[in-house]
Structure 1
Amino acid sequence: MAGRQDLTAYGYRKGRAQFLAANDICHLCGHPQADVVDHVRPVAAGADPRDQDNWAPAHGVNRCPTCGRNCNGEKGANTRTPRLKTSRDWYA
């Protein structure tokens, strides 16, 4: 089983960059230019950080250019996807 130290490994960082290049719509607010990978099931809870089936694009370090949120930071380690208030209902 992989650990948190795998989050800094070259292979992980390369895979993460490829994933974000192909998927840049934040799964939390629905806006483009996501800059981090959200582990839907947290690594701290035992999820393998390399499992791309557990990845979802989100805004983090650079915040969302549309709504200004740090979506992944607002979600935190919550395993449920929060319904963030947006100007558009992305869940309908």
Structure 2
Amino acid sequence: MAKRTDLTTYDYRKKRARFLAESDVCHLCGHAGADVVDHVQPVAAGADPEDTSNWLPAHGVKRCPTCGRNCNGAKGAKTRPTGLKTSRDWYTA
């Protein structure tokens, strides 16, 4: 099982920075400026912290500059509920 310290290694931080540089749109609210990687399947539940297929960008350390939410903090250690509408969904409706 992965440990929380696995999330602080230099290699992990470099990989996370590259990931967020490629896409900073929060998967929870749909706004730009995501600053953390959300592990869809939680690391605490045994997910590999470096498996990028389990990563989605989210707001966390900094709140969303558009709606002010701490998206990842509000979600907590749960998987994203299905059918949740994000701001992006409302614009396309």
TM-score, reference length from structure 1: 0.88
Which structure dedicates a bigger proportion of its chain to helix?
Answer: 2
Give the deviation of 1:85 after TM superposition. Answer: 6.3
Unaligned 5+ runs, structure 2: none
Post-superposition Cα deviations, 1:5-62, rounded to whole Å, max 9, x if no partner, equal 1100000000000000001000000000100000000000000100000000000111
Alignment of 1:52-67 (within 5 A): 52-67=52-67
Q: CA 1:48–1:10 in 2, change beyond 3 Å: closer, same or farther?
A: same
Number of the residue aligned with 2:43: 43
Number of the residue aligned with 2:33: 33
Give the deviation of 1:66 after TM superposition. Answer: 0.1
Unaligned 5+ runs, structure 1: none
Q: Using the alignment, how far apart are the partners of 1:35 and 1:7 within structure 2?
A: 14
Q: Figure out how many residues of one structure are paired with residues of the other and give that number.
A: 92
Q: Using the alignment, how far apart are the partners of 1:44 and 1:2 within structure 2?
A: 7
Name the Cα RMSD after superposition. Answer: 2.1
Deviating above 3 A after TM superposition, structure 1's stretches of 4 or more consecutive aligned residues are 84-88
Opposite residue 71 of structure 1, the aligned amino acid is C
